Amino acid sequence: MTEQRVKPEEKIFVALDYDNMDDALRTADKLGDTIRTMKVGLQLFFHAGPQILHRLNEMGFQVFMDCKFHDIPNTVAGAADSVTQHGVYMFNVHCGGGLAMMQRAKEAAIHRAKAQGLTIPKVIGVTQLTSTAQETLNREIGIPGDVRDIVVHYARLAKEAGLDGVVASGHEISYIREACGEDFLTVIPGIRPTWAGANDQKRVMTPGEALRLGAHYLVIGRAITHANDPRAAALRILEEVRQEAN
């Protein structure tokens, strides 16, 4: 899917970070006519199991399984094989696992999807979490240098491994595009409309700004799911997305 063909409602992935399936499905139901892709993270997955992936598919959503695999290549290949069996549209792995790990994840996804006649899932590399500030990267994680340079380094590595794109913050979009080309997907969390709080996110940006910089997809959780009216919040964000598309 190239950038030009992505409709505004396809640009937003809603993070269903709930501790039970009922709440997740209730919110998904409210967003059914506005949003195309739901993100399932580990919290919801460990409550609901793989069933949640199928329920969302049956409701007409694409599913981004946010499992952030990071292990030895053989183990990640096995996990990629398993998640692909559930017909997910996208899943992610940590770029920090290295080139071979990312390659094996994508290869396993292709292999399993072909064997079962499924669409090959997009495999996305997580560069540096949007909750990681410059100081955290250097002092706690122990990686010297600028966050932006590390993110671009990981994005290049993800591309070399054959992944479809990366997760990064809005602040790195233009550098990733420059390094990896405009078709290499940028999936951007840490999105905060001006009317929402930052919470635990550090490298944040508004939807409009991220799209102006060329983001392909925006991952949005609490600004929608914690809103009094999630549908109204989603529509408000979509309006901002549409304005950027015009």
Ligand X SMILES: O=C(O)c1cc(=O)[nH]c(=O)n1[C@@H]1O[C@H](COP(=O)(O)O)[C@@H](O)[C@H]1O
- 50's tokens: 């793989």
* Cβ neighbourhood burial of 110 (10 Å; 0-12, 13-18, 19+): middle
Q: How far, in Å, CA of 31 to CA of 59, rounded?
A: 11
Could you tell me which stretch among 27-35, 54-62, 146-154, 221-229 binds ligand X (CB under 6 A)? 221-229
The yes or no reply on residue 66 touching ligand X (CB under 6 A) is yes
Please spell the DSSP secondary structure of 181-196, one letter per residue: -TTSEEEE--B--TTS
Q: How far, in Å, CA of 25 to CA of 48, rounded?
A: 11
Pick out residues in 227-246 that bind ligand X (CB under 6 A). none
Of 108 and 166, the one with the shorter C-beta distance to ligand X is 166
The yes or no reply on residue 201 touching ligand X (CB under 6 A) is yes
Among 63, 67, 101, 167, binds ligand X (CB under 6 A): 167
Q: What HEC string does 90-157 produce?
A: EEEEEHHHCHHHHHHHHHHHHHHHHHHCCCCCEEEEECCCCCCCHHHHHHHHCCCCCHHHHHHHHHHH
The yes or no reply on residue 17 touching ligand X (CB under 6 A) is yes
- Choosing from 11, 68, 122, 159, the catalytic residue is 68
The yes or no reply on residue 190 touching ligand X (CB under 6 A) is yes
Among 37, 84, 103, 130, binds ligand X (CB under 6 A): 130
Q: How far, in Å, CA of 237 to CA of 193, rounded?
A: 7
Could you tell me which stretch among 94-102, 109-117, 122-130, 156-164 binds ligand X (CB under 6 A)? 122-130
Of 49 and 197, the one with the shorter C-beta distance to ligand X is 197
Q: Answer yes or no: 68 catalytic.
A: yes
Q: Which residues face 122 on adjacent strands?
A: 90
Among 8, 73, 189, 230, binds ligand X (CB under 6 A): 189
Q: Return residues touching ligand X (CB under 6 A).
A: 15, 17, 41, 66, 92, 126, 129-130, 167, 189-190, 199, 201, 219-223
**Which residue numbers are catalytic?**
68
